Structure 1
Amino acid sequence: MGTATIKSGSINLLNTIIGAGILAMPFGLKSNGLLLGCLLIVWSSLTSSFGLYLQNKVAKYTQQQGAISYFSLAQITYPHLSVVFDSAISIKCFGVGVSYLVVIGDLMPKIMESLHVAEESLLMHRNFWITLFMAVIVVPLSYLKKLDSLKYTSVVALFSVVYLICLVIEHYAVNDIPIENKTITWFGPVSLKSTLSSFPIFVFAYTCHQNMFAIINELKPLDKHGSTTRQSNLIIRNAITTAAASYLIVGIIGYLSFGDSVNGNIITMYPRDSILSLIGRLCIVIMVSLSFPLQCHPCRGSINHVLHFLTVGITSSKTRSTHQAQGYTSLQSDIESLNSITSESIQDESFISTTPVEGAQDTDGHSPIIVPLTTKRFYVITTIIVTLSYLVAITVTSLEHVLAFVGSTGSTSISFILPGLFGYLLIKPINGATELNRLELCCKYGGLALAIWGVIVMIVCLGATIFLGATH
């Protein structure tokens, strides 16, 4: 079933990571000083990559490559909380997707203004551009069933990122924007308040964990590249290192260009009438419009998991409670219950499984949970997501504070807390071994440390949002 490759997985994961948040990196360095800001970028890349690494490890140790998801792991560890986990993921992905549409509605009229379009023109209305991009780009791409199908659009989006990086470098090299009394804080921190308020910029800059399991599921073992575990590690390395390098380049050069006068969006610092800046703003619009489907994909899967839990989850949990002593629990009851619910859909060739199960078992020999997604449900859920996203985007002009709360809870959960907990709980001796080796012990207890770090991040970010007005 696997169709994804290291190249396509790296592209999609990188596009999930890099969004409009890259434009705030110079401001993050301003708030912390050049050295401390760079250290925060690197530290955030390490913690996020470790979370991704644990996700890959858990897929290996539960032997569920091709069948892994937050839902299936939650059914093994905390079945009653699986609906909470997937609800958090779906809300977080939905909110980020809506924010992309808001960015389109905010930027396109400004681009038209730079082109001297009349104020009364239809082209100056934000809702017109949201509707146009939804109809032409967002909706068609959101109905693609596999994440791997988005690799070509992700390439286009990443070309937009490359252009933005080149724009920042070009303006710095030419030095065509003189700044009077430019000051630069080389070390830092500037103040505790500025560090805390800018903290979410860094810790959420690498949020992509919602798509990691989908990438693992779609990989195919190849003699040339090795197992899916090895391929996934290469994907993580490629995506995280490229993202970190991009953030450092834009952050450092952008901050050195404007010093402490830089604001939260580096692209607004360049001349409006400049053709290069105009193309840069258009690149942002293209990037976020092509990134929406990467949020729709995990949102749809999580909603389907929630619906599954509401229909058969309670019965499944009761069945599992009788097998607690066996470690990983038997999921035969789930399969039997699903047969009565989805027999027609399984016979349908268009039946989709958000957690495919071909040959996948955990280390105790139990098959993972099957989460059915019929073609009808696929289109219904997708239609609801894109419709609600559109309605919210044309109604609400700013989601900054809402996203700050959603990001503080949802992003920290899927990036740090859940990968850490699953790593701590599920990594255990395999292949007849009785004890964990040194690397396995590091991963197990490193997972616990990552989960604790996630709780600290959640508390700090929520505090910064409530008391300091920080935004996601």
Structure 2
Amino acid sequence: MGRATIKSGTINLLNTIIGAGILAMPFGLKSNGIVFGCFLIIWSALTSSFGLYLQNKVAKYTQQQGAVSYFSLAQLTYPQLSIVFDSAISIKCFGVGVSYLVVIGDLMPKIMESINIPSESWFMERNLWITIFMIVLVIPLSYLKKLDSLKYTSVVALFSILYLICLVIEHYIVNDIPIENKHIDIIGPVSIKDTLKSFPIFVFAYTCHQNMFAIINELKPSDTDGSQTRQSNLIIRNALSTACFSYLLVGIIGYLSFGTTVNGNIITMYPKNSISSLIGRLCIVVMVAFSFPLQCHPCRGSINHVIHFITVGINTSKVRHPNQRDGYSSLQSDIESLNSISTESVQDESFISTTPMEGAQDTDGHDPIIVPLTSKRFYIITTFIVVLSYLVAITVKSLEHVLAFVGSTGSTSISFILPGLFGYLLIKPLNGATKLTKIELFSKYGGLVLSIWGVIVMVVCLSATLFLGATH
């Protein structure tokens, strides 16, 4: 069933984490001071990694590795709310994907300007560049059926991040950008208002949970790498620690370079006519172009779940298998919906399912909760996403506050509230045990704390967006 590895999973998860948010890390430290700002970066990494850890745990405890999704877990907890969960995920991922296209449209004319292209030239049109990148890169990559297929483009995107890090360090060491009255706040925080305004930067910088279940589903147990659970934990550790280190490095060095004059996009602080800065801006464009498919993948899966919910409905009657543990079972309607697909469609290799995978079974051979995704629906949904994203991107020039609002609700839901809630409700004693172990107790009640933290984060980020003008 699976074919991903620890390496490819780490690369894809890391590329999902590190996006344009790394450019705002120096500004985040400006608003909070070096010490307190670094604390917020590390704290956000820890809370985000715990959410990923709970996702991995729940996949194990419900025995749905290979077929786990937010939708399937919702059927075991609050089936009628599954459409709300998947709607939030799809809207959030769609909004972030559109923001990547907007970044391309904003940066490419500036890159053309830096190489002395006349202002009246067609190459200064933002919509032209959005169209070119959509046709050449975004659309072909968005039609790849498995997340693991994006590992090579993720490598290219991560090299772009590496170049940005080297650019920030090189300018700091050379000290070739004189800044007058440069002030550095070491301890922090600067003010409560500045902290609240910048808080969404740190929280949303680690949002990657929408792709965690897809990574778990595509992993393959092996004698050398171990179980899917062990591999997933290594992926989480590798990706989150690398992202946290990168954020700290760019944040600290960028802030030390410009002090309180730094803005929300560090790449714009460097000379326009510099070759290294030009390459840095191109790297950012390439990075966001290759990151769009990583948002399209979970968006497509969630839209498919919503369509399934609306057309088929939810049958809360459950099927109990002879060997199945108490508490977890498959839904009658989901298994029947698979059986209702024509034999020709099932035999056709083009019949696919991204999250979860078709034909997957849990560790005891039980049928998991599966939402079928035929090739026809795959192409229809994908086309709908890329076309609508393109139309929105060429129509709207600024999405900051919309993304901040969507991120405040969608990101906190999939990063903290849902993983914590699923962990609290679904982690139960294994192998006939009557009591939870210490690790199980920590995971279960830690999940409850994480959900409460998610609600707090949602309230704070929404308030900062609505009343303080914070952006995502």
Q: Same fold (TM over 0.5)?
A: yes
Unmatched tracts of structure 2, length 5 or more: none
Counterpart for residue 428 of structure 1 = 428
Counterpart for residue 409 of structure 1 = 409
Once the two structures are superposed, the pairs formed by residues 259-408 of structure 1 within 5 Å of their partners are 259-314=259-314, 316-317=315-316, 319-320=317-318, 327-340=327-340, 344-353=344-353, 354-356=355-357, 358=359, 360-361=361-362, 367-408=367-408
Counterpart for residue 457 of structure 1 = 457
Counterpart for residue 40 of structure 2 = 40
Alpha-carbon shift at residue 338 of structure 1 (Å): 3.9
Alpha-carbon shift at residue 327 of structure 1 (Å): 2.6
Counterpart for residue 216 of structure 1 = 216
Could you list the structure 1 runs, at least 4 aligned residues long, displaced by more than 2 angstroms after superposition: 319-323, 325-330, 337-349, 356-363
Separation in 1 of the partners of 2:409 and 2:369?
A: 26
Counterpart for residue 205 of structure 2 = 205
Separation in 2 of the partners of 1:165 and 1:342?
A: 52
Alpha-carbon shift at residue 256 of structure 1 (Å): 0.3
Counterpart for residue 140 of structure 1 = 140
Separation in 2 of the partners of 1:377 and 1:458?
A: 33
For 2:349, what is the secondary structure of its paired residue? coil
Separation in 1 of the partners of 2:191 and 2:214?
A: 40
Residues 208-254 of structure 1 show CA distances to partners (whole Å, capped at 9, x for unaligned) of 00000000000001111111100000000000000000000000000
Separation in 1 of the partners of 2:456 and 2:275?
A: 44
Could you tell me which amino acid in structure 2 is paired with residue 313 of structure 1? G
Residues 382-402 of structure 1 show CA distances to partners (whole Å, capped at 9, x for unaligned) of 000000000000000000010
Separation in 2 of the partners of 1:296 and 1:238?
A: 24
CA contact (8 A) 1:5 1:219 kept: yes
Residues 301-358 of structure 1 show CA distances to partners (whole Å, capped at 9, x for unaligned) of 00001111112223x13x35999x9632442342124433555532433111231254
CA distance 1:11–1:225, change in 2 (3 Å):
same
CA distance 1:462–1:61, change in 2 (3 Å):
same
Alpha-carbon shift at residue 435 of structure 1 (Å): 0.7
Could you tell me which amino acid in structure 2 is paired with residue 34 of structure 1? I
Separation in 1 of the partners of 2:330 and 2:68?
A: 16
Separation in 1 of the partners of 2:337 and 2:14?
A: 38
Separation in 1 of the partners of 2:161 and 2:229?
A: 28
Alpha-carbon shift at residue 63 of structure 1 (Å): 0.9
Could you tell me which amino acid in structure 1 is paired with residue 176 of structure 2? D
Unmatched tracts of structure 1, length 5 or more: none
For 1:214, what is the secondary structure of its paired residue? helix
For 2:424, what is the secondary structure of its paired residue? helix
Separation in 2 of the partners of 1:286 and 1:349?
A: 32
Separation in 1 of the partners of 2:79 and 2:363?
A: 16
CA contact (8 A) 1:328 1:362 kept: no
Separation in 2 of the partners of 1:3 and 1:341?
A: 25
TM-score (norm 1): 0.97
Counterpart for residue 445 of structure 2 = 445
Residues 388-443 of structure 1 show CA distances to partners (whole Å, capped at 9, x for unaligned) of 00000000000001001100000000000000000001100011111110000000
CA contact (8 A) 1:62 1:362 kept: no
Separation in 2 of the partners of 1:357 and 1:165?
A: 40
Could you tell me which amino acid in structure 2 is paired with residue 355 of structure 1? P
Could you tell me which amino acid in structure 1 is paired with residue 263 of structure 2? N
Q: Is 1:52 the equivalent of 2:52?
A: yes
Residues 10-31 of structure 1 show CA distances to partners (whole Å, capped at 9, x for unaligned) of 0000000000110000000000
Alpha-carbon shift at residue 112 of structure 1 (Å): 0.2
CA distance 1:136–1:186, change in 2 (3 Å):
same
CA contact (8 A) 2:320 2:330 kept: no
Could you tell me which amino acid in structure 2 is paired with residue 150 of structure 1? L
Residues 57-89 of structure 1 show CA distances to partners (whole Å, capped at 9, x for unaligned) of 001111111000000000111100001000000
Separation in 2 of the partners of 1:34 and 1:362?
A: 47
For 2:313, what is the secondary structure of its paired residue? helix
Counterpart for residue 8 of structure 2 = 8
CA distance 1:359–1:135, change in 2 (3 Å):
closer
Residues 144-181 of structure 1 show CA distances to partners (whole Å, capped at 9, x for unaligned) of 00000000000000000000000000000000011111
Counterpart for residue 167 of structure 2 = 167
CA distance 1:124–1:117, change in 2 (3 Å):
same
State the identity as a percent: 80
For 2:340, what is the secondary structure of its paired residue? helix
Separation in 1 of the partners of 2:250 and 2:360?
A: 45
CA contact (8 A) 2:404 2:470 kept: yes
CA contact (8 A) 2:427 2:444 kept: yes
Counterpart for residue 234 of structure 2 = 234
Separation in 1 of the partners of 2:344 and 2:222?
A: 34
CA distance 1:404–1:132, change in 2 (3 Å):
same
Once the two structures are superposed, the pairs formed by residues 68-217 of structure 1 within 5 Å of their partners are 68-217=68-217
For 1:372, what is the secondary structure of its paired residue? coil
CA distance 1:211–1:438, change in 2 (3 Å):
same
Could you tell me which amino acid in structure 2 is paired with residue 239 of structure 1? A
CA distance 1:381–1:211, change in 2 (3 Å):
same
CA distance 1:132–1:300, change in 2 (3 Å):
same
For 1:144, what is the secondary structure of its paired residue? coil
